[in-house]
Chains A and B, each alone.
Chain A
Amino acid sequence: MGFDVLFKGTNFIRLLAGLGVALKISLISVAISIPLGIVLGMIMTTKNVVVKAITRLYLEIVRIMPQMVLLFIVFFGATRALGINLSAETASIIVFSFWGTAEMSDLVRGALTGIPVIQYESSFALGLSPLQTYLYVIIPQIVRRMIPLSINLITRMIKTTSLVMMIGIVEVLKVSQQIIEANRKSSPNAAFGVFATVFFLYFLACYPISCLSKYLEKKWEN
């Protein structure tokens, strides 16, 4: 079945290190996306038409363009058009942060506009100042809505970063191809075992995070 290849030499450790590269890129991108997304989401709730149009355009671009296309535009296009020579890793962090910020800001905007007006009115009627209203009434509700969704964004980011292989970053898929090629003679069935392992590794990386997100969502319902 080709699972034996994994235990030859340092193959399995190399696979894990490859997964580490992908995880590192996704975590950096998430760390950039979340604060930027929160700020942008708050900006998006303004009534200014120009700001609204610009943010709307940004969201639509991210919604329509596949991440792979954005990756190619930044990695190959920027070099060609602007003469900037980005490393593959920088290019991917830029693209995934660009994508993640849009996703995050949309979530924040949804959470902000989803708070019923009655919440504000009731707290004012109870004599809370605007600061108190935000601090004790609105923000706790938003945080409860946002945390499960932001955690979910992490798993989506991890899944999306598997694309970086296409611009030449040596991550888990590239490492598995190298292992399969190197052992072509000794174990011709390596492709099955190695890719099944990668499949399972990604599942192991994402499943606990999805469970956490689901658990928090259930716990904080209402």
Chain B
Amino acid sequence: MDPNVLSSYLPLYVEAFFLTVKIGWIGIIIALLIGVIVAFIIHFNVPVLKPIAKAYVELFRNTPLLVQLFFIYFGLPKIGVAVSAEVCGAVGLGLLGGSYMAESFRSGLDAVPVSQSESALALGMSKSQLFGNVILPQAFSISTPAIVANVIFLLKETSVFSAISLMDLMFTAKDLIGLYYNTTECLVLLVVFYIVMLVPVSILGTVMEKKTRYKMFGV
């Protein structure tokens, strides 16, 4: 391995790293928003919207991100919906993640025992108190591990962005390998940057899981 090569590639990787992290986290935030909304729609049996929400979850959970991105990036412009690669990446990741997050939130909501809401109602709590103080905190602590796993999964999935020519880490590595054939150096940097991106999230996730577990009561 040549240290000169490593240092000369470093700025390119740093740039790609920030782009990947930016789009990845925008996508995750979109995913969390979609996930919460869809989970509520399914959990509360909202008429009309529920079948749509269910179809969305099944459709996006059962197809690969790569195919979704190709459809959004190359397919949709043909019917007049053209978006830039960055928007496509964030939206695609958000849509994929939304379906996973929805499942996690929903299973959290479903896992709170009926006795909890019955007891709360028996104690004279209003519907909003019941939901805000009894169900949500428990549902959140139950779904936290799944949400953390989803976040890590989505950050890993960002590597697919290179297929729609977004200049992310994967694309940079592929490009540099193709240009200069310094395969080993390129791959080492790639691995290092993914470790930098994911290890903190993984550790933070473990900490969060422990924190929320302490708050668990009744279950």
Q: Give residues in A with beta carbon < 8 Å to B.
A: 1-2, 60, 63-69, 72-73, 76-77, 79-81, 155, 158-160, 162-163, 165-166, 173, 176, 180, 188-196, 198-199, 202-203, 206-207, 210
Contacts and interface: CB of A to CB of B under 8 A. Distances in A.
B194 A191 contact: no
B21 to A, nearest CB: 14
B191 interface: yes
Nearest to B181: A80
Nearest to A191: B74
Most buried by B among A79, A159, A188, A193: A159
Contact of B160 (A68, A80, A210): A68
Given A1-B79, A206-B62, A195 B74 contact: yes
A73 B187 contact: yes
B154 to A, nearest CB: 11
Contacts of A68: 159-160, 162, 170
Contacts, number: 117
A196 B170 contact: no
Given A72-B187, A72-B190, A192-B79, A64 B199 contact: yes
B147 to A, nearest CB: 15
28 contacts: A1-B79, A63-B202, A64-B156, A65-B156, A65-B194, A66-B157, A68-B159, A69-B159, A69-B170, A72-B170, A77-B183, A155-B62, A159-B62, A159-B64, A159-B65, A166-B162, A188-B78, A191-B75, A194-B75, A195-B67, A195-B74, A196-B75, A198-B70, A198-B71, A199-B68, A199-B71, A202-B63, A202-B64
B174 interface: yes
A69 B190 contact: yes
Given A64-B198, A80-B184, A155-B62, A198 B67 contact: yes
B187 A77 contact: yes
Contacts of B125: none
A189 B82 CA distance: 13
A195 B66 contact: no
B55 to A, nearest CB: 10
B183 A80 contact: yes
Nearest to A210: B62
B83 interface: no
> Top 4 closest A-B pairs, CB basis?
A206-B62, A66-B159, A192-B78, A162-B64
B63 A203 contact: yes
Contacts of A199: 63, 67-68, 71
Nearest to A22: B64
A190 B190 CA distance: 35
A190 B71 CA distance: 11
B33 interface: no
Given A69-B194, A166-B162, A203-B59, A77 B75 contact: no
A66 B78 contact: no
B87 interface: no
Given A72-B173, A80-B184, A207-B58, A64 B202 contact: yes
A193 B195 CA distance: 38
